[in-house]
């Protein structure tokens, strides 16, 4: 017992534990993600899933995934991203909340297609519901409380959305790129002095931009912001609803800027 309490032995044990923790974090976690996590997700959604690279830093609790693609049965990409970086705040391990220093998503893409029968391709990613499984019940009057969430920075860079609707007599094609979204100091815990600012910008076509900036709170669900459409061709928007009318719009440009105050489920108050 005395030998185990000697400083050299204690230091050797600590060094060994740190080495083991380092090995597990840097080597074992990425291996488990690629060897077991990705196949498990593919089995769950019944679609091929490919991940090029995974890395985890056990000291900063930062996870990085590169080159993820979810494909259909013909191996055509449906959605994915070039890079996902998630930096978990260490306090999360000791506090009753989930907190992130940073979440960054680079070049995410979504290919949404509606076939001639009106079926959305992305719906196939949802696992079929198990109708035989018993539905969970909760005592009357008991409300489910959401785990507190904090995000210092959430950023989406160079997002891509490809949309095609073949269910209409004249197919609708729409590409939104690049999409940029920035969220700072987001928190579901009300506190004074928190910026909680959000911003979104996307280009539908060259010179056609949609931008939004504002704030959002969850308790209560409330939002203040400003929406701006700049140089958006009316033909681009009209193609989505042209089957409802007996005329075509061949030209025209829409510029719009509007501020709003929204209380979810209650009312929309206009601001001058």
Comparing 134 with 149, which gets the higher pLDDT?
A: 149
Q: Are 114 and 166 in contact (CB under 8 A)?
A: yes
Q: Considering the domain boundaries, does residue 80 fall inside one?
A: yes
Interatomic CA distance for residues 213 and 70, integer angstroms: 31
The least confident of 38-47, 66-75, 209-218, 237-246 is 237-246
Q: Considering the domain boundaries, does residue 142 fall inside one?
A: no
Helix runs in the chain, H state only: 7-23, 29-32, 38-45, 234-238
Domain hosting 239: range is: 48-122+147-270
Digit-coded pLDDT (tens) for 168-187: 888 888 888 888 888 877 77
Q: Considering the domain boundaries, does residue 173 fall inside one?
A: yes
What integer pLDDT is reported at residue 269 of this predicted model? Answer: 45
Q: Are 208 and 178 in contact (CB under 8 A)?
A: no
Q: Give the count of domains, the chain.
A: 1
Burial of 150 (0-12, 13-18, 19+ CB in 10 A): buried
Percent of the chain's residues with pLDDT above 70: 76
Mean pLDDT across the chain: 81
Q: Considering the domain boundaries, does residue 133 fall inside one?
A: no
Q: Considering the domain boundaries, does residue 242 fall inside one?
A: yes
Digit-coded pLDDT (tens) for 158-171: 999 999 888 888 88
What integer pLDDT is reported at residue 266 of this predicted model? Answer: 44
Q: Considering the domain boundaries, does residue 236 fall inside one?
A: yes
Q: Considering the domain boundaries, does residue 2 fall inside one?
A: no
Digit-coded pLDDT (tens) for 238-261: 666 666 666 677 778 888 898 888
């Amino acid at each position: 017992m005395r030998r185990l309490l000697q400083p050299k032995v204690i230091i050797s044990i600590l060094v060994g534990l740190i080495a083991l923790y380092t090995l597990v974090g840097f080597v074992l976690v990425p291996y488990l993600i690629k060897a077991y996590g990705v196949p498990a997700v593919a089995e769950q959604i019944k679609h091929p899933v490919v991940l090029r690279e995974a890395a985890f830093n056990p000291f900063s609790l930062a996870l990085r995934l590169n080159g993820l693609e979810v494909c259909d049965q013909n191996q055509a990409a449906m959605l994915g991203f070039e890079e996902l970086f998630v930096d978990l705040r260490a306090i999360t391990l000791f506090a009753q909340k989930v907190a992130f220093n940073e979440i960054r998503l680079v070049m995410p893409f979504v290919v949404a297609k509606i076939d001639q029968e009106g079926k959305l391709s992305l719906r196939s990613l949802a696992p079929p519901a198990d109708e035989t499984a018993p539905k969970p019940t909760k005592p009357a009057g008991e409300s489910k409380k959401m785990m507190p969430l904090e995000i210092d920075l959430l950023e989406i860079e160079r997002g891509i959305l490809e949309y095609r609707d073949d269910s209409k007599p004249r197919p609708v094609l729409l590409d939104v790129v690049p999409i940029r979204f920035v969220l700072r100091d987001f928190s579901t815990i009300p506190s004074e002095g928190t910026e909680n600012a959000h911003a979104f910008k996307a280009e539908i076509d060259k010179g056609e931009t949609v931008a939004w900036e504002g704030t959002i709170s969850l308790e209560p669900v409330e939002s203040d912001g400003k929406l701006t459409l700049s140089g958006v061709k009316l033909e681009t928007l009209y193609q989505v609803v042209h089957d409802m009318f007996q005329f075509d719009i061949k030209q025209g440009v829409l510029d719009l800027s509007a501020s709003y105050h929204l209380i979810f489920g209650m009312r929309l108050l206009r601001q001058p």
